[in-house]
């Protein structure tokens, strides 16, 4: 955890009035290394470290926090600045149609994020979105958008055999007649930048006269994304960018770099293939995440969104009385599955993240867990503590799983119990009713 490493590398400053270079040089190296590891461009890193150093040096050491914490805070605040300061949302004008043009290379995630944005703004703000299929170069591209539209109940404007420009123009007319409040133009991308693609994009841009141009970057492409972003920005002046595939093991450093190099703010993160896997980007939360301080706010919010309040109150009571059973565990696992990637969520949680990384929530794994739990007697499910070695062997045989799997399940059960207690505490602090999953 970076914040921990930083704290331990900041030399003891007590009794000194100011932070000095010798106190923080090791910590600065640590910051530098962490950012480079996260795939942040080296020039951005160099500038950033210089900035932090300048801020830190000569800073009066406060008495209320440790100097090390103070240093971590400086790094945190500078990270927030580096990532654009505040969250930047789309500006919707009252009663006016808003138009968005998507831009980016092929495979970056434009079509997927088009659907995500449409869904997001239908849910948040009650917009009436129309998705416009302007990618006429890949035969399957129009089908892909239509299929997404159909499954989400979002209208798609498409034509076969027309140019992207004609489609854009006709979509504008259609939307005026039918009173759509939000138009999102999905466009074509190539594997590499080429001039005819850029020209087509400029043409669609001119016709749509958009309020927003979102450049979609694949987080997995790392530094390359920065150069590509810059070229698109020169062609159509992007107003924001979306980093897709942040659910993979992308290190996300490109996010910091694109913003820094182009000045275009990161607005949304794509965190999965499903249409609801879109998150507004909050620089302060991301800074906390990079520092490993735990993205408590978005964790709790996310948890709350899938929680049935009544049920979670019951659960909280059970946890307090230590009556949380394996049956509850199974129910929770099924819910966690709905939330998406648990490792992502847990990674945000300070302290418990690492321990729980092993929990698998793919449907097959849950079936296995189910088989194990259903092989237990009701008494065992209520009080897993009574499971000794021979009963574990019997359960393994009964469920067709291995003893190791049974043992792992028991460990995960205990870990989840701990984690849920912690989440309950957090959400109580936050003032919510309950954040249990
Ligand atoms: P386009 O060529 O730019 O329109 O890209 P697509 O929207 O067709 O996406 C390319 C691939 O990336 C598809 O298989 C998508 O399912 C996948 N994809 C898009 N966004 C995300 C994301 O946020 N996370 C993950 N894991 N996959 C994504
Ligand atoms: Mg596409």
pLDDT tens digits along 355-374 = 444 455 566 777 788 889 88
Look at the domain 297-430 and name its fold. Answer: 434 Repressor (Amino-terminal Domain) (1.10.260)
Average pLDDT taken over every residue of the chain: 80
Token pair listed for 57: 């040096």
Residue in the block written with tokens 């259903």 = 374
CA distance 103 to 121: 19
**Does the pLDDT at position 324 exceed 60?**
yes
pLDDT 10s digits, 95-118: 789 999 999 999 999 999 999 999
pLDDT 10s digits, 272-323: 999 999 999 988 877 777 776 544 444 444 544 544 555 656 666 776 666 7
CA distance 330 to 363: 12
Is the shortest distance between the CB of 45 and ligand 1 below 6 Å? Answer: no
Rounded average pLDDT over 1-5: 63
Compute φ and ψ for 16, nearest 5 degrees: -105, 145
Is the shortest distance between the CB of 247 and ligand 1 below 6 Å? Answer: yes
Element (H, E) at 89: none
CA distance 376 to 413: 14
The predicted structure's pLDDT at residue 428: 56
Q: Whose CA is nearest to atom 10 of ligand 1?
A: 107
**Does the pLDDT at position 144 exceed 90?**
yes
Residues 6+ apart with CB under 8 A from 270: 109, 112, 113, 116, 216, 242, 243, 244, 245, 246, 247, 277, 278
Residues 6+ apart with CB under 8 A from 200: 164, 165, 187, 188
Is the shortest distance between the CB of 137 and ligand 1 below 6 Å? Answer: no
DSSP track, 312-345: HHHHHHHHHTT---HHHHHHHHHHHHHH--HHHH
CA distance 185 to 39: 31
The predicted structure's pLDDT at residue 2: 65
> Residue 277 CA: which ligand 1 atom is closest?
23
For residue 183, give the DSSP letter. E
Domain over 2-82 is classified CATH 1.20.120.140: yes
pLDDT 10s digits, 178-198: 999 999 999 998 777 788 889
Rounded average pLDDT over 117-124: 95
Q: Whose CA is nearest to atom 27 of ligand 1?
A: 273
* Gap from CA of 22 to ligand 1 centroid (Å): 47
CATH superfamily of 98-282: P-loop containing nucleotide triphosphate hydrolases (3.40.50.300)
CA distance 227 to 267: 19
Q: Whose CA is nearest to atom 12 of ligand 1?
A: 109
**Does the pLDDT at position 427 exceed 60?**
no
Pick 131 or 354 by higher pLDDT.
Answer: 131
For the chain, give every domain's residue range: 2-82, 98-282, 297-430
> Is ipTM > 0.85 here?
yes
């Amino acid at each position: 955890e970076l914040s921990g490493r930083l704290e331990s590398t900041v030399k003891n400053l007590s009794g000194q009035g100011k932070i000095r270079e010798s106190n923080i040089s090791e910590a600065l190296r640590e910051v530098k290394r962490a950012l480079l590891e996260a795939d942040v461009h080296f020039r951005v890193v160099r500038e950033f470290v210089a900035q932090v150093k300048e801020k830190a040096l000569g800073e009066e050491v406060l008495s209320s926090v440790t100097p090390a914490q103070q240093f971590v805070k400086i790094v945190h605040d500078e990270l927030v600045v580096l990532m654009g300061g505040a969250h930047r949302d789309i500006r919707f004008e009252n009663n006016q149609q808003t138009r968005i043009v998507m831009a980016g290379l092929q495979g970056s995630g434009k079509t997927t994020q088009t659907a995500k944005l449409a869904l997001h703004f239908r849910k948040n703000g009650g917009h009436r979105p129309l998705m416009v299929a302007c990618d006429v170069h890949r035969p399957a591209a129009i089908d892909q958008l239509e299929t997404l539209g159909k499954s989400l109940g979002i209208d798609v404007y498409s034509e076969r055999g027309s140019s992207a420009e004609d489609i854009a123009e006709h979509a504008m007319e259609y939307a005026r007649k039918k009173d759509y409040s939000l138009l999102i133009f999905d466009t074509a991308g190539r594997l590499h930048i080429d001039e005819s693609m850029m020209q087509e994009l400029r043409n669609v841009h001119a016709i749509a006269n958009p309020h927003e141009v979102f450049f979609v970057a694949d987080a997995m492409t790392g530094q390359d994304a920065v150069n590509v972003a810059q070229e698109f920005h020169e062609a159509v002046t992007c107003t924001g960018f979306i980093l897709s595939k942040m659910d993979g093991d992308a290190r996300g450093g490109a996010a910091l770099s694109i913003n820094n190099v182009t000045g275009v703010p990161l607005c949304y993160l794509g965190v999965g293939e499903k249409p609801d896997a879109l998150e507004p980007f909050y620089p302060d939360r991301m800074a906390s995440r990079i520092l490993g301080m735990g993205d408590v706010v978005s964790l709790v919010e996310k948890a709350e969104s899938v929680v049935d309040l009544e049920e979670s109150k019951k659960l909280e009571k059970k946890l307090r009385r230590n009556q949380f059973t394996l049956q509850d565990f199974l129910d929770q696992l099924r819910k966690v599955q709905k939330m998406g990637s648990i490792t992502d969520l847990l990674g945000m949680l300070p302290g418990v993240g690492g321990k729980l990384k092993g929990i698998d929530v793919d449907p097959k794994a849950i079936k296995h867990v189910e088989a194990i739990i259903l092989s237990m007697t009701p008494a065992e499910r209520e009080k897993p503590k009574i499971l000794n070695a021979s009963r574990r062997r019997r359960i393994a045989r009964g469920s067709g799983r291995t003893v190791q799997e049974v043992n792992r399940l028991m460990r995960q059960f205990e870990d989840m119990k701990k984690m849920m207690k912690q989440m309950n505490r957090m959400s109580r602090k936050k003032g919510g009713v309950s954040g249990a999953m």
